[in-house]
Chain A
Amino acid sequence: MSDEPRASYRALARLDAWLNRVYTSRHNPLYHSGAIAAALLVVLIATGIYLLLFYRIGAPHASVSRIGAQPWTGRWIRSLHRFASDAVIVATAVHAFRMYAQRRTWGPRALAWVSGVFLLGAFLACGWTGYVLVWDAHAQLLAIQGARFLDVLPIFGEPIGRSFVGERPVPSAFFFVNLFAHIALPIGLGVLLWVHVARVARAVLLPARGVLWGSLAALTLLAVLWPAPLLPAADLLRTGDRVPLDWFFGFWLPVAQRLPAWSAWALGPLVVGLCVAVPWLTRPKRARLPAPATVNERACTGCEQCVRDCPYEAIEMVPRADGRAGLVARVKIELCTSCGICIGSCPPMAIGPLGVTARDQIAEVRAFVADRKPGSRDVVIVGCAWSAARAEAERCGAAYLGVPCVGAMHSSTVELLLRGGAGGVLVVGCAEHDGRTREGVTWTAARLFGGRKAELKARVDRNRVRLVQASLGEGVALHEAVRAFADQIGALAARQGDGEPEVDLVALCRARRIADAEPTGEVA
């Protein structure tokens, strides 16, 4: 997990940071994109059931028009159904992009990725059938294109396109099949979503309350104030008129209408194949593959904390094989993402990916202390490459200790740094709802300040430890936090009557602030 952030993540982190300032990190909708998509599926089912009560397959356009004419309910419920579908597409696209940008695509996550591709495909198909149900000019475009593609396949006795030539009315059976698909597909979506999060422990299917109600309120207001239009009924003997298109579902139409029908069967599988292949295309080379966690069975006490903390349910307890009573942890290698969260969960330091176990970490801290010799006014910044920690340490000249993820940091690391002379330890993690190890920051907070195993020992002065959430783009916020903490450590040192530090971070940061411009939040 120590691999460097992609350029796409750096760009995303800047947008995140900007939205954090607007919404706060807890309520940043981009962090909650997967959960927003899942929650909106429920909104779609609720509004869809209402629409179903009034929809008539014998009079598709007229019945939708009647729904739109209901002044208190139908008008905005229909629009909410539509805008919620659009929002699912946006949320899913952001979610998938985030997963890619954070390198959360390969290994055990391949199941989530591939099922995600099919989730998106099934959702789009569900949307198309929904649009066709309205049987307006937009529906006509989709239906005719769909028929054009299907008619390339030599499997239909009569070309489907002949249903739309305008010779006779489109049969009700067509709308019945569409309605059936529109209702059946969400059941498939439910199953796919279940598969999608099968390997994720404690999957977050609902966003933070503020995000949930906020997005629902925004979509409802949009539906009330600017309802979705109902276009004139489909007229199969007219073509080419300008239509208001839903670009979230019809983005492919401008290309598809200009290409020969067979190209859909060449391009479609190519695009889907590429998307499905991402887990294998992005998998690191064998030599760079991170090692899965392993258990030192002699040291394992069987406390089960690692099982509780693992974000991917990749650890189980099995009877000991060494003759001792009780259970021992065992890693299900096929499920382990090498996130390292188990490192910080284990008081006796018995588990972790080879080469980055807690014992390796302690050895590294010892070497670090011996080399840097931090003083009582120094703040050591501990963080991962995906946070703003390293850039801030460089900016302020503070000592920096890199870890694969703060969730993979053993609490003894903090204690050892302080015992090694550092005035304070500032742990910098990503935003809680954005962690690429999912729960790294949450568990770290609980381990440092909430007594969760492997807890930071009570003897450690908590005034000298701080946990800050600052993703790559949040240099400015982190800078403020570092300054405040450095001030606090400076004051503590002064109270204890310590001499001048070797590196006076407080003075250093102040001097730079005056000499240079304020940091822009951009990270090298």
Chain B
Amino acid sequence: MFVAPRRSQARQVRTPSDQPSAPSSDTEVPVWDLPTRLFHWALVLAVSVTLGTGLFGMPQRLNLHLLAGGSVAVLLVFRLIWGLVGPAASRFSTALASPRRVLDRLRRADTATYLGHNPLAGAVLFGLLGLLGLLVVTGLVSLGGEEQRGPLAASLSWTTGRRAHGLHELLAWGVIGAVVLHLGGMLIESLHLRENLPAAMVTGLRRRPDAGAVELPALRPRRTLGAVAFVALVLLGGAWLASTWGTAPSGWSSLDEHPDQALFEAECGSCHTLYHPSLLAADEWTLVMQTLDEHFGEDASLMPEPAERITALLIEHGNGTWDTEAANELRGQQDPAEPMAVTSNRWWAEHHRDLEEAALASPDVRSPGNCEACHLDAVQGRFGGHRIDVPRSAQP
């Protein structure tokens, strides 16, 4: 059955074929309450920014991505609560339908006018919310494991973060698919009903046909309960973030407490970036320290005693002892013909291909080995994508 096109005096209805011939007694009824509408458009914004930064802004826009992603998480918390105690149209119970009914709707065996979510729209709603929830989780896992940041940094390995990252990207495409379905369904419904559904998400009003509409159950929103639950959950999440943010990441040997850290910094940092011990394997460091009199075109000899202490530090904290992104990516990629030069590491070379020439010409960089000219956190061995700041003079 096809719901016959109706005429309406409703402002929001834009149907080119509309003829004011037959009077209508359709009434407008409030469906989407203000919190639900605010949630909807805030989510549109947050998801757009998250997707935009995630797809086009990485790694430099990671912090904005985290901010937008965090907003998505907060909005999801609200929607979860509102799905349980909100007004009828926002409740999950009214959006939930059996797979059979979803299929019926898809096959157009069910063409009723739903004031809330039709079975198919409900399925898309759950799919979208579920995907976004999984994105928040995989994002946090990726951030903690791969970037060694955020609340999970202390408990996750780089490999776990890396896997989560792959999943995170896949899920992002899932969200794009769900958004396309949502927009497509909304468009089809709008045309089919001759009702401006996007406008309904602005005004909150839907047109109720005289007959045949699937009414919403009489459920009052429990605002106080919802607000209390929302504030409580957000505070709880905030407390969790505050208590875990910045805690020592896993896979991080505590170089800062090493008795020879100051000596290492003073001796190895006077001519070049203080290369982090995680950049070379222990045997490569040994080689470096044995050949200081022929050190990348210079004599960099040290007194035997400090040389020994620094060698010990480097061996103790060599590449194999770190679970950071740089340590993992560089591992095993060193060119055997150049065991001491990080700049001949295959992974390094792959990631600096476009940069080298412009960098060499820049007085702020001068050498491809001047890591800290662009990596603000090079000395900590982190090399976070968001901490890259290429000097203007070195930009191609």
Q: Do A and B come from one complex?
A: no
Give A residues with C-beta under 8 Å from B. none
Chain B interface (Cβ < 8 Å from any Cβ of A): none
